[in-house]
Amino acid sequence: MINYVREQSVGELVRNSFAVFGKGLGIILLTYLLPMLPFILMQGEALAAKANGLWLIAVFLGTIASLLAFGAITISVSDICLGNAPSLPRSYKRVFGLFGRMFTASMLQLTFIIIGCVLLFVPGIIAMFWFMFTPCIVVMEGFGGLRALKRSRALGWGYNWRNFGVFALVMVIAIVAYVILVIPLLLLIPDAASHFSGRFFNTVFQLLSTPLGIVAIVLMYYDLRVRKEAYDAAALAEDLRR
């Protein structure tokens, strides 16, 4: 079995993100889909109808749902990396048990990102990569609130550009694959159906690409803990048993 809980190069992190995503495709997608699909569809319909109020409500509720999904996928990916069979009920049971900490930490994370984006956008991107490990830290280490954000920033310190590069490469590959596969299909669809089809394929892409990005973040979290704290598979297994 491949050891994913080790120091990895950028190329290895990118390849292993797709490998782990492929291994756990069904359970990872179901874990993400369960809370998120209604709000993704609601956002799409609200945009199509130009209902800005409904879209904002859908985005807010979807953000809360995404916190649950991120935490549950972290547990599922951890099981996959240890060779265990991931369990949807077990993943969500753990996340719901930490929901208060997850909610407060993630709302603080989102607040800092929004404030940063308002301040000439670049600070928002910086905040995004400072605090990207917050959900992993909540479910794996039990920290909440500002402590989880500080822990995320400290863990990623010195590797922020590298983390950005890994995440960007994973997303670029996903986008290129989407364009290659979907654009020819859309060109074959009659104009009357093209608008709906475009929204459908965009929804499918979001449902695939977001969990893939979460897998990449989880693997980067392992990599950094290995580099800075001598973390290993035994320590990961212990974290899962807590």
Rounded distance, CA 77 to CA 28, Å? Answer: 8
Q: What is the pTM of this model?
A: 0.91
Question: What is the chain's alpha carbon radius of gyration, rounded to the nearest angstrom?
Answer: 18
Question: What is the pLDDT confidence band of residue 192, given thresholds at 50, 70 and 90?
Answer: very low
Arithmetic mean of pLDDT, 118-137: 88
Rounded distance, CA 226 to CA 221, Å? Answer: 9
Specify the pLDDT at position 229. Answer: 95
**Residue 8, number of CB atoms within 10 A of its CB:** 21
- Quick one: how many helices (H) and strands (E) in the chain? 11, 0
Specify the pLDDT at position 110. Answer: 85
Average pLDDT score, the chain: 88
Rounded distance, CA 211 to CA 203, Å? Answer: 13
**With 70 as the cut, is the pLDDT of residue 15 above it?**
yes
Rounded distance, CA 107 to CA 102, Å? Answer: 8
Residue-level length of the chain? 242
Domain assignments of the chain as residue spans, ordered by start: 10-241
Arithmetic mean of pLDDT, 184-193: 61
Tokens of 229: 């704290």
Q: What are the pLDDT digits (tens) for 43-70?
A: 878 877 888 888 888 888 888 888 889 9
